[in-house]
Amino acid sequence: MESSNRRSFLRKTGIGAAGAVAAPWISTRPAHSSSNDTINVAIMGIRSRGMNHISHFSALDNVRITTLCDIDERNFPKALASVAKLGGGKPKTETDIRRVLEDKEIDVLSIAAPNHWHSLASVWACQAGKDVYVEKPVSYSIWEGRKMVEAARKYNRIVQTGSQRRSDPLMQSAVQFIQEGKLGKVYLVKAAVYRARKAIGWGRISPIPDGVHYDLFRGPAPYIPFNDNRFHYNWHWFWDTGNGETGNNGPHPIDLMRWALQKYEHPCRIQSMGGLYVFDSEQETPNTQMSVYQYSDGTTLQLEIRNHFTNRDGDVREGLIFYGSEGWMEFNLGNTWKTYMGSNAEPGPSMTREQANDQFGTIAYGRGYEPHFANFIDCCRSRRREDLMAEVLEGHMAATICHMGNIAYRTGRTLEFDSEHECFIGDDEANALVRREYRYPFVINDEI
């Protein structure tokens, strides 16, 4: 029988905003349904992860990259050369995502822009009749993640989250092992992100570089003078544009934890502490952080990030440890999973990347994650969002856990969360961080 939490979760998948204010580019154009139809893709953000998007979409049949969008024109030559090398011709280039969305020939917007643009661009794209592939975290804040779900439902769009490990057979086999109850009842999960980083130091206010459309970079964030240390990549470490390491790489293990344990509600109690240690820099987000979450059934989740030299937890540097009544599993993302059973910690079932390839077949295109893009394109054709490996609601649920940890860290106290209404109970300061103040015209409206 379906649990009440799952029923509530599934009801939310139908939430929409009646009487929404339409964007000027609202479209009702039909989607492609034939595998012979060419799907035209625009990629937003091409400096780092966006270059991977170019490679992955270029490898798929009847998919054409028609537009590259970036606020830094200096990135275009390399990206154009990559598309040409992969046989994709010469896409158009654009700096303003609004002009991209006005192009009625574009079917898909693929978003690899900074976090503070993820939800806004996704909502606008859904309103424009585009399907969306959006990198994790899907949102900058809890509230706007929910608006993404509402937009996807209202405009009947296919929206895939970049939680690409869901499409990896090695990860799927570990999740299946847990869901079959072979660890017994799981009572504790530790998610680890131990990724060494260097101090970013101190930047300087300087003229905006030629070719940089800085107002578009800031988008919904407050406008501040250009600082070379708050721009490419380092935007992750400032609260007005990023979510720190907890929001940067935390969504990957958090998403797999939810998937394995089939959690269809948010945690109800959250604590987080840590700080910016050792580094001499202007970074605002912590480089060492421990967040602890408890679900209504008592299951506890720990998310720990470390950006300094550190040991591993068992064999885990980035991944999960599941603790169950019959044993535990070390789940090292991308490489292997191992189990240890009973009071004597006897080695149990395990699987390596090589074994997964032998059992399930080598994953397409060699790196292990590319099937996620193929799954997305298949669903763009079929219009079956239930076949997506990481549908937007799953991404919202994972991102929300990371956001809750950051909010508990910033407020410095234990928080109680109302899962149904997605707000903190009796805490105005915490609730003020559920939603950001948007800078006009880069606004997500209450009614989408």
User: Residue 12: pLDDT above 90?
Assistant: no
Question: Cα(31)–Cα(41) distance, rounded to whole angstroms?
Answer: 13
Q: What are phi and psi of 188, to 5 degrees?
A: -150, 140
Q: Return the DSSP state at 313.
A: B
User: Residue 9: pLDDT above 90?
Assistant: no
pLDDT at position 362: 57
- Residues 161, 149 contacting (CB under 8 angstroms): no
The model's pLDDT over 202-251, given as tens digits with 9 standing for 90+, comes to 999 999 999 999 999 999 999 999 999 999 999 999 999 999 999 999 99
pLDDT at position 368: 37
- Residues 393, 122 contacting (CB under 8 angstroms): no
- pTM comes to 0.92
> What rounded mean pLDDT belongs to the chain?
91
Residues 28-53: what's their mean pLDDT? 80
The model's pLDDT over 341-390, given as tens digits with 9 standing for 90+, comes to 999 999 999 999 888 878 876 554 344 347 999 999 999 999 999 999 99
Work out the number of other CB atoms within 10 angstroms of the CB of residue 381.
18
- Residues 136, 115 contacting (CB under 8 angstroms): no
User: Residue 31: pLDDT above 60?
Assistant: no
Specify whether the backbone of 134 is left (phi greater than 0), alpha (psi in -120 to 50) or beta: beta
Question: Cα(249)–Cα(90) distance, rounded to whole angstroms?
Answer: 33
Question: Which percentage of the chain shows pLDDT scores above 90?
Answer: 84
Give 357 or 397, the one with higher predicted confidence: 397
Give all domains of the chain, ordered by start, each with its CATH number. Answer: 12-165+370-391 (3.40.50.720), 167-201+215-366+399-431 (3.30.360.10)
Residue 367's closest CA among 86, 167, 133, 144?
A: 167
- Residues 351, 146 contacting (CB under 8 angstroms): no
Beta strands at 63-69 and 39-44: parallel, antiparallel or unpaired: parallel
pLDDT at position 35: 62
The model's pLDDT over 143-183, given as tens digits with 9 standing for 90+, comes to 999 999 999 999 999 999 999 999 988 999 999 999 999 99
Bridge partners (DSSP) of residue 194 are: 306
Beta strands at 186-194 and 131-134: parallel, antiparallel or unpaired: unpaired
pLDDT at position 62: 95
* First-last CA distance in the chain: 34
The model's pLDDT over 50-60, given as tens digits with 9 standing for 90+, comes to 999 999 999 99
Give 34 or 145, the one with higher predicted confidence: 145
Residue 135's closest CA among 368, 392, 425?
A: 392
User: Residue 5: pLDDT above 70?
Assistant: no
